[in-house]
Chains A and B, each alone.
Chain A
Amino acid sequence: MTQAQLEIQLLAMATAVACSLCGVFLVLRRMSLLSDAISHTVLIGIVIAFFLTGDMTSPWLLVGATTAGVFTVLLVEGLQKTGVVREDAAIGLVFPALFSIAVLLISIYSKNVHLDMDAVLVGKIALTPLPSRRLEFWGYDFGPKSLALMIAIIIVNIGFIILFFKELKVSTFDPAFSKAIGFNPYWIHLGLVLSVSTTAVASFDAVGSILVVALMAAPAATAYLLTDKLSIMLVWSCIIGMLCAVLGYWLAHFLDASIAGSMATVAGILFGLTFFFAPERGLFSVWQRAKIRDRKFKLALLLVHLTQHEGTIRELEECNIESLHLHLRWDEYETRSVAFEAVESFCASQENKVLRLTPKGRIIALESLQIGTNLS
C-alpha cells in the first residue's frame, strides 16, 4: 500500500465517520431526507460565493455552501409552518427549485469557467494526494488539506455530541418532555442542522453530493438495527462507516471505478445484510422467532383440543392422528409434525393412532386455558 493509497483511505474513513455521527441523529429524528435536500442546495451557495469571489478555492465557498444548507432547512420549515404544505412536499419543492437556479446560473454565466458538475456529484477523493492539495507549514508536510479539514469537522461534531449529549438525547426521543422541563428543542435542532450542513459541505468535496446522503443514512440505519442504546449506536455507526470506506476503496481499486460510488455500494450491501441477518431485529431472526411462537401456540392448541375431548365418546375420532387435521383445520403435514412434537416432548402419548394426554401435557393445556380466561 503506497502512501497515496493510505491517504485516500484515511480521508474516506474520516468523511465516513463525520457523516455517520450526524447521520445517527438524522435517522432517529426522521430527518434523513434533509441531508438529501442540503446536499443538492449547497451547489447554489457555492455558485453564488464563486460569483462574488471569482475564486474556486476560496474558503468563502465553504461558508456560502453551509449558509445555503441552513437556508434550505429554514425554508423547508417555513413552508411547513404555513400549514399549507407537508414536510415531504416542502422538501420536494425547495431543493429542486434552488438546484435549478444554480444550474441555470452556471449555464448562463459561467460558460468559460471551470465549475465541473461531475466533480460536484462524484467528488474528487482520488485527487487527494496531489501536491497542490497539501497542507504545508514551515516546510513540513502535514498531509492533504481535505484530511485536515475533515478531522477538524469530526472534532467539532464529537464535541457537539459530548457537550450536548443529554439535550440531544431528550430532544430526539421525547421533544414534548424536553419542552416541558423548560428546554427548547429548537436550539438543538438548529445546532444539528448547522453541523449537518458543515459536514455535508466538507464531505461533498471528497465524495460528492449524493453519496453524502449514503454516508449519512446507511451506516446510521444499519447501527439502528443493531442496538437500542444511543451511545452504542453512535459507535456502531462510526465503525460501519469506516468499514464502508475501506472496503469501498478496495472495491473501487479492483474494478477501477469511482471510489465514492463503491463506498455507497458497500454501505448498501452492509445495510442489506443487517436488514436480513441482524441478531435481533433482522428479518430472518424476526421471522424465525415468529415461527417458534407460532409452533408453541399450535402445540398448546393441540393439547387444549385433547383435553376437550378426553374421555368423551368422540375421543377416538377427534384425537386420531389420521383425522386430526380435519378437526383443527390445519395443514395435514403440519398437524403431523405438531403431533409428533407433542409426543417427543412427552406431552402426549400415542396408542393405536390415537393421541392421549400425559400429566405434563394436561398441565400445559390447563395453563394455556387459564391464560386465555385471564386475558378475557
Chain B
Amino acid sequence: MFESLSVPGLGSVVAGTALLGFLCGTLGTFAVLRKQSLMGDAISHACLPGLILAFLLFNSKESWALMLGAAISGTIAAMAILGISRFSRVKEDSALAITLSVFFGFGLMLLTWVQRRPDAAQAGLARFLFGQAATLLDRDVWLLAAIAIPCLITVFIFWKHFQLVCFDRSFAQSLGFPVFFIDVLLSLLLVMVIVAGLETVGVVLMSALLVAPAVAARQWTNKLEIMAILAGIFGAFSGIAGAILSNIGKTSIPTGPVIVLFITLIVFLSILFAPARGIVWLQFKHWRDSKVLQLDSVLSNLLNLAREHSGKQNGHSMAMLKGISSNPSGVPRSVHKLLEMGLVSEVDKGLYIPTTKGAEYLNEKTSHMGAPLK
C-alpha cells in the first residue's frame, strides 16, 4: 500500500481525482434532484467537436485551449437541449439523445477529417472517452482548483435559488424568481465541471460521477445541504480510492472505470442499507408492521366474536380464528404472542378470550379512528 503511494505523480493524481469527485458530487446533487441526471452525459459527449475545433484553431494541445473549445460546444449543447424541449413538442429525453449523438457524431466526423491531414497529431478518441487520470500533473490539479473554487462559490451564493428551483419550480416562478435564468446558470456550472473533468475521467465516467454520488447521498439524508456535502465526500472518496486501487498492481488498469465501480458500490450499499430509505430497512419495517397488524387483527377478531356469541364463556378456537383471518398460517403464532403479552387468555383447552387489558389495548389503537370499539 505504501510503496504504491510512492509512485511518482500519484500524489497529484489522488488530489486531482478527489477534487473532481467532490465537485461532481456537489453539482450532481442539483442535476439528480431536477431529474436531469443525463444532462451531464449529453454535455460531456457534446464537448468532442469543441475540443477538436480548438485543437485545429490554436494548433496546440494546451489544456486551456482544449478546455475553452469544449466549454463552448458544451454550452451550445446545453442551450440546444433546453431550447428543443422548451420550444417544440419534442420531449426532453429525445432532446438529450439527439444533442448527445449528433454533437458526438459531428465531433467524430471532424476527428477523422483531422486525422487524415498529414500535419495533425492525433487527438486520441480513447483518451476523450476514458480519460487519463494517471497522467495528471500538478499544474492540472491547479487548473482544476481554479475551476472548482469559483463553481463552489457560485453554488454557495445562489444556494437559495437552486434549492427553490429543485424542489418547487412553480412556487419559484410565482415568487418571481428568474427560473429560466437559474436553469441556464446550473447548466453552465455543469458544463464547467464537465470540461474540468473530461481530461481526467473521460466521457462515460463523467456522467457516472455526476449521478452516482448524489443518488447515494440522497439515501442518507433529507436535507439538501447535507446531501450536497455528502455527495461531494462520496465523490472525493471514490476518486481517491479509484486512483490508489488502479495504481496498486503492476498492470496499468484505467483509473476512470475503477472510480466508477467504486462509486457504484457505494450507491449499491446505500440503496440497500441506508436507514429510513434503504431497501433492507424498508423491508424490515414492512415485515415488522405486518406482524403488528396481524396481531391486532387476530385480537380484534377474537373480541368481535366474543361480543357476538355470548355464553359458553365467549371462548373461541384457533380453527375459528383461522377461518376468518386473511393469513391463516400466521394465526397460531399471533395467538401465542397475545397470550404471552397477557392480552388474551385461554378459558378452556383450545378456547381463547380477550382479557380486559386486550380490549383496552385495542381501544387505544383505534381511538384515533373516531369511535372506539365498545
Interface positions of A (Cβ within 8 A of B): 26-27, 30-33, 35-36, 40, 79, 82, 84-86, 88-89, 91-93, 95-97, 99-101, 103-104, 107-108, 117-118, 121-122, 210-211, 213-214, 216-218, 220-221, 224-225, 251-252, 255-258, 260-265, 267-268, 271, 275, 281, 283, 286
Bound CA span A111–B211, Å: 31
Contact between B116 and A104, CB atoms less than 8 A apart: no
Contact between B251 and A210, CB atoms less than 8 A apart: no
- Nearest 5 A/B pairs, CB to CB: A264-B105, A268-B102, A261-B108, A96-B208, A261-B109
Q: A30-B91, A33-B93, A225-B90 are in contact. Are A100 and B106 (CB under 8 A)?
A: no
Bound CA span A82–B274, Å: 13
Contact between B204 and A107, CB atoms less than 8 A apart: no
Bound CA span A225–B87, Å: 12
Is B190 in the interface zone, CB < 8 Å from A?
no
- Quick one: which of A26, A85, A100 contacts B271, CB cutoff 8 A? A85
Bound CA span A86–B31, Å: 12
Bound CA span A40–B205, Å: 12
Bound CA span A84–B215, Å: 9
Contact between B88 and A283, CB atoms less than 8 A apart: yes
The 5 sampled A-B contact pairs (Cβ below 8 Å) are: A96-B211, A96-B260, A214-B102, A221-B98, A224-B94
Identify which of B40, B109, B129, B211 gathers the most chain A CB atoms within 10 Å of its CB: B109
Contact between A89 and B97, CB atoms less than 8 A apart: no
Q: Smallest Cβ distance from B296 to chain A, in angstroms?
A: 26
Known contacts A79-B271, A88-B38, A96-B208; can you find 4 more A-B pairs with CB under 8 A? A91-B37, A93-B267, A214-B105, A217-B94
Is B21 in the interface zone, CB < 8 Å from A?
no
Identify which of B125, B208, B210, B258 gathers the most chain A CB atoms within 10 Å of its CB: B208
CB contacts (< 8 Å) of B129 on chain A: these are 117, 121
Bound CA span A95–B212, Å: 11
Q: A84-B271, A91-B38, A108-B251 are in contact. Are A216 and B97 (CB under 8 A)?
A: yes
Is B41 in the interface zone, CB < 8 Å from A?
yes
Contact between A261 and B94, CB atoms less than 8 A apart: no
CB contacts (< 8 Å) of A93 on chain B: these are 208, 211-212, 215, 264, 267
Identify which of A26, A35, A258, A281 gathers the most chain B CB atoms within 10 Å of its CB: A258
Bound CA span A267–B108, Å: 14
Contact between A255 and B91, CB atoms less than 8 A apart: no
Contact between B109 and A100, CB atoms less than 8 A apart: no
Q: A88-B37, A121-B125, A225-B90 are in contact. Are A103 and B102 (CB under 8 A)?
A: no
Within 8 A of A (CB), among B31-85: 32, 35-38, 40-41, 45, 84
Contact between B204 and A100, CB atoms less than 8 A apart: yes
> Which residue in chain B gives the minimum CB-CB distance to A91?
B38
Contact between B88 and A275, CB atoms less than 8 A apart: yes
Contact between A213 and B211, CB atoms less than 8 A apart: no
- Quick one: which of A96, A104, A286 contacts B207, CB cutoff 8 A? A96
**Interface footprint category on B:** 35 or more
Contact between B260 and A97, CB atoms less than 8 A apart: yes
> Which residue in chain A gives the minimum CB-CB distance to B114?
A257
> Which residue in chain A gives the minimum CB-CB distance to B125?
A118
Is B279 in the interface zone, CB < 8 Å from A?
yes
Tally the A-B contacts, defined by beta carbons under 8 Å: 211
Interface positions of B (Cβ within 8 A of A): 32, 35-38, 40-41, 45, 84, 87-91, 93-98, 100-113, 116, 125-126, 129-130, 204-205, 207-208, 210-212, 214-215, 219, 251-254, 256-258, 260-261, 264, 267, 271, 277, 279
Contact between A104 and B204, CB atoms less than 8 A apart: no
CB contacts (< 8 Å) of B219 on chain A: these are 84
- Looking at chain B's contact residues, the main secondary structure is helix
CB contacts (< 8 Å) of B252 on chain A: these are 107
Bound CA span A261–B116, Å: 15
Contact between B208 and A84, CB atoms less than 8 A apart: no
Contact between B104 and A210, CB atoms less than 8 A apart: yes
Q: Smallest Cβ distance from B267 to chain A, in angstroms?
A: 6
Contact between B254 and A103, CB atoms less than 8 A apart: yes
Q: Smallest Cβ distance from B346 to chain A, in angstroms?
A: 43
Contact between B101 and A214, CB atoms less than 8 A apart: yes
Q: A96-B204, A256-B113 are in contact. Are A27 and B105 (CB under 8 A)?
A: no
> Which residue in chain B gives the minimum CB-CB distance to A225?
B88
Contact between B104 and A85, CB atoms less than 8 A apart: no
CB contacts (< 8 Å) of B212 on chain A: these are 92-93, 96
> Which residue in chain A gives the minimum CB-CB distance to B108?
A261
Q: Smallest Cβ distance from B203 to chain A, in angstroms?
A: 9
Bound CA span A265–B260, Å: 30
Identify which of A31, A91, A97, A118 gathers the most chain B CB atoms within 10 Å of its CB: A97
Contact between A32 and B96, CB atoms less than 8 A apart: yes
Q: A256-B113, A257-B112 are in contact. Are A224 and B89 (CB under 8 A)?
A: yes
Contact between B84 and A275, CB atoms less than 8 A apart: yes
Contact between A89 and B105, CB atoms less than 8 A apart: no
Bound CA span A61–B106, Å: 29
Contact between B257 and A210, CB atoms less than 8 A apart: no
Contact between A92 and B38, CB atoms less than 8 A apart: yes
Q: Smallest Cβ distance from A227 to chain B, in angstroms?
A: 12
Bound CA span A128–B141, Å: 45
Q: Smallest Cβ distance from B111 to chain A, in angstroms?
A: 7
Q: Smallest Cβ distance from B163 to chain A, in angstroms?
A: 18
Contact between A92 and B211, CB atoms less than 8 A apart: yes
CB contacts (< 8 Å) of A33 on chain B: these are 38, 93, 96-97
Contact between A263 and B105, CB atoms less than 8 A apart: yes
Bound CA span A281–B87, Å: 10
> Which residue in chain B gives the minimum CB-CB distance to A117?
B126
Contact between A218 and B98, CB atoms less than 8 A apart: yes
CB contacts (< 8 Å) of B211 on chain A: these are 89, 92-93, 96
Bound CA span A93–B218, Å: 14
